[in-house]
Amino acid sequence: MIAVNDATFSDLVLNAPCPVLVYFWAPWCGLCRFVGPLLSQLQDNCGGRLQLVAINADANLRLASAYQLTSLPTLILFKSGRILHRLDQFQTREDLEKIHQQISPAQFL
């Protein structure tokens, strides 16, 4: 997972050649520590067609504000600089499965 910040966001997310799943997290967030490894598995399952990046919301307040984060973790899927999907409320592991189902290989073509 690549760490992204205010300075690298545009290049690594908005101008990326492939879809990018942005994982907003914070060091104090217990659920974030649970979700991180599951996201790595999700990226592996996408066979390299998806880039996963992590943004520490506490250290990047401009981005957290720009994307109006209300809870952590928050996942936002970008393609060609546009938001395709957003997940703000994590409850269970099944929430990640829903994202995996919505991220079909056809979306990446």
The catalytic site residues sit at 29, 32
Give CA–CA dist 55/42, Å, rounded: 17
CB atoms within 10 A of CB 30: 8
Give CA–CA dist 32/90, Å, rounded: 10
